[in-house]
Amino acid sequence: MFQTNRTTCALFAGTWVRDDTYPLYQYSNCPVIDAEFNCQMSGRPDSGYLKYRWQPLNCQLPRFDGLVFLSKMRGKTVMFVGDSLGRNQFESLICMILAANPQTQTQMNRAMPLSTFKFLEYGVSISYFRAPFLVDVDVMQGKRIVKLDDIAGNGNAWRMADVLVFNTGHWWGHEGSLRGWDLIQSGGKYYQDMDRLVAMEKGLRTWANWVDSNVDITRTRVFFQSASPDHYNKRVQDALLRPHLATGPMSLTKSPNEWSAAATATTAKNCYGETEPMKGTTYTSTYADQMGVVNEVIREMHVPTYLMDITMLSELRKDGHPSIYRGDFSPSQRANPQKSADCSHWCLPGLPDTWNELFYTVLFY
């Protein structure tokens, strides 16, 4: 395991335990959950995946208390910055706070790239800024250009936040129609593609320089969330990150005996039909190369940046994805889980609530 975080409690090493007091809120009581995360409303038939609590090896997590969160964060702004996994966590945190104070006055403004939910009585704002690469993406002559050396455009929106939670990861490995750029700009030159880990490191160093140059450590705390794993049967993650080096046969990211009968009955294994976490206390991460880059960049930063190392605990939760139970899926998509299942995002209520329990712990304890 990477030892970037050294505290008396190893928060990110542990096991999933059944707990019937979960979930922390009901989907029907939280109006902000997007259709693609709202698995119960979208017909997911099982609910056992909602009944698990993360148990660190050598300590107990404090129970999340939305009123405590609001009182401690009075007059402040929390901003999640990154890809749609950040939006997953943003919506989760709002739901968790609302569960403790459902009658409080609120205001929601959804826009692109910035969405903000305000708890008016407390002056607390929870925001999400969409920036899947963190660095700027410009459109020139109809082409999307990821600018590995530029971040000022995005960064202007982050300056006034009191707590910043960054994430990036998935988009650096996307291929084909999912790829988020037409060109990459670096060092004044343009590339159609490059080693994805090299590109990610360049982008992260631009982000780190922005944090070191712009964050006032007397008023702002900075967190970085490690990669959220997906559960597809595909080439391992570093082959995706380095497509020109990807050779040899396809390999499973999970061993066959970890998949349910419903999943193995299909021709391509994914999270469809999974209803329980994987057993054990840790899982060998397929994101080691990404994590190595993240650790190195954060270690060299001047502004203290806390790494929320949620990758391994999340990797055990093959049961937590929307699969075909997304409100925006058509009947034909639902009928073809091999091709359509979403094994990247997470159901709400669900795993992102645990990320926020850990965030709450690190923020206040």
Evaluate whether residue 267 is within a structural domain.
no
62 in any annotated domain:
yes
Q: What is the average pLDDT across 320-325?
A: 96
In sequence order, the β-bridge partners of residue 54 are: 16
3-state helix, strand, coil in the chain (%, to 5): 30, 20, 50
252 in a domain, yes or no? no
**Are β-strands 163-167 and 77-82 bridged in parallel, bridged antiparallel, or unpaired?**
parallel
Q: What is the pLDDT of residue 333?
A: 94
pLDDT, mean over the chain: 88
Q: Considering the domain boundaries, does residue 39 fall inside one?
A: yes
Q: What pLDDT, on the 0 to 100 scale, is given for residue 282? A: 61
Residue 263: pLDDT over 60: no
What share of the chain has pLDDT > 90, as a percent? 77
Cβ atoms of residues 309 and 2 within 8 Å: yes
Task: Report whether pLDDT(327) > 90.
Answer: yes
pLDDT at 267 over 60: no
Q: Cα–Cα distance between 36 and 224 in angstroms, integer?
A: 24
Residue 288: inside a domain, yes or no?
yes
Question: Mind listing the pLDDT tens digit for each residue in 271-311?
Answer: 999 999 998 766 566 678 889 999 999 999 999 999 999 99
| Predicted local confidence at residue 262, as pLDDT | 45
pLDDT, mean of residues 131-158 = 96
Q: Is the pLDDT of residue 320 over 50?
A: yes
Residue 7 within any structural domain of the chain: no
Whether residue 241 is predicted with pLDDT greater than 60 in this model: the reply is no
Confidence of residue 254 (pLDDT cuts 50, 70, 90): very low
Residue 131 in any domain: the answer is yes
Token pair 């569960």 is at which residue?
99
User: For the whole model, what pTM was predicted?
Assistant: 0.89
Q: 119 lies in a domain?
A: yes
Total of domains in the chain: 1
β partners of residue 108: 117
CA angle 255, 12, 17 (to 5 degrees): 70
Across the strands, what pairs with 307? 224
Ranked by mean pLDDT, which of 177-181, 256-260, 305-309 comes out on top? 305-309
The yes-or-no verdict on residue 239 having pLDDT over 70 is no
Catalytic residues: 84, 342, 345
Q: Crossing angle for the helix pair 288-299 and 196-214, nearest 10 degrees?
A: 30
Say if CB 135 and CB 150 are below 8 A apart.
Answer: yes
Q: Please give the Cα distance from 200 to 252 (Å, whole number).
A: 24
Range(s) of the domain holding residue 227: 22-239+272-364
The pLDDT assigned to 297 comes to 97
